[in-house]
Chain A
Amino acid sequence: DAGITQSPRHKVTETGTPVTLRCHQTENHRYMYWYRQDPGHGLRLIHYSYGVKDTDKGEVSDGYSVSRSKTEDFLLTLESATSSQTSVYFCATWTGHNNSPLHFGNGTRLTVT
C-alpha cells in the first residue's frame, strides 16, 4: 500500500541495546508517521515528519528518536530499548491533502527481552 516497506519485520533484542527500525516509501508522500500498537491502548503516535529533516513529537515520544534525511526514508531509533517498548510498530504516510487517507506499512514486531 503506497509502496511502504518496513524493516525488519520481526526483531528480538535485549534491554539496553539501541534499535533502529526503517520505513521506506516509494510514493513521494510528504508526511510520514511512526505509531505503536498495544493491546488496550490502540494505535499511539510516536513521532511524525512533515518534510525532510522536519519532525515533531507525538503522544508517546519518550525513549524514541527519528530522522528523515530523504523523502523516502523515515527511521525510528530506540536509544536504549526497554521491555515497555515491546510492541508492534507501524509506519504510515500521507500526501497532506485532506481528501487522502493515511497508508500503512505491514508493521515491525519488536520484542525486548
Chain B
Amino acid sequence: KQEVTQIPAALSVPEGENLVLNCSFTDSAIYNLQWFRQDPGKGLTSLLLIQSSQREQTSGRLNASLDKSSGRSTLYIAASQPGDSATYLCAVYGNTGKLIFGQGTTLQVKP
C-alpha cells in the first residue's frame, strides 16, 4: 500500500530564506508526483507535476525534484515571501489509479 510522508509538518522561516520541503513515498512504481498549495478555507492549487521519467520541474521560484528509486521528492522555494505562507501537499499517482496524498507541510513566512 502506497504511503506518502511529508516532513516537517510545520515550518516557520523569515522572509527571504530559501527552503526545502520533503516528501517520501513507499512504492516507487508511480506515474507522476504532484505538489499542491492550499490556502486556509480554500481548495488545492496545483504547483508542479513531475512525470516518472523526469527528474525535476521548475516554475518561477519553485523547483521540484524527483528521485523515484529512493522514493523521495523535494520542493525548493527560493527567496521566500509572506505570500508563500500556506500548506503544501505532495501526492503520488501510481498503478492503483488513485492519487495518494501526504498530510502536508504548513509553512509560515514571517515578514
A residues neighboring B (CB under 8 Å): 1, 4, 33, 40-45, 48, 58, 90, 92, 98-107
A107 is contacted by which of B43, B45, B51, B101 (Cβ under 8 Å)?
B43
B85 contacts partner chain A, Cβ-Cβ < 8 Å: no
Query: Contacts A99-B32, A101-B49: A1 and B102 contacting too (C-beta < 8 A)?
Result: no
Judge whether A98 and B93 touch: CB under 8 Å: yes
Total interface residues on B, using CB and 8 Å? 21
Query: Contacts A1-B43, A90-B44, A107-B43: A102 and B99 contacting too (C-beta < 8 A)?
Result: yes
- The answer for the CA separation of A100 and B34 in the assembled complex, in Å, is 10
- The answer for the CA separation of A98 and B102 in the assembled complex, in Å, is 19
- The answer for the CA separation of A90 and B101 in the assembled complex, in Å, is 13
Judge whether A107 and B42 touch: CB under 8 Å: yes
B residues neighboring A (CB under 8 Å): 31-32, 34, 36, 41-46, 49, 51, 89, 91, 93, 98-99, 101-104
User: What is the minimal beta-carbon distance from A47 to any residue of chain B, in angstroms?
Assistant: 11
A-B contact count (CB 8 A): 51
Q: What are 29 residue pairs bridging A and B, where the CB atoms are less than 8 Å apart in the complex?
A: A1-B45, A4-B43, A33-B99, A40-B103, A42-B89, A42-B101, A42-B102, A42-B104, A44-B101, A45-B98, A45-B99, A48-B98, A90-B43, A98-B31, A98-B32, A99-B32, A99-B51, A100-B49, A101-B36, A102-B46, A102-B91, A102-B99, A103-B46, A104-B36, A105-B43, A106-B42, A106-B43, A107-B41, A107-B42
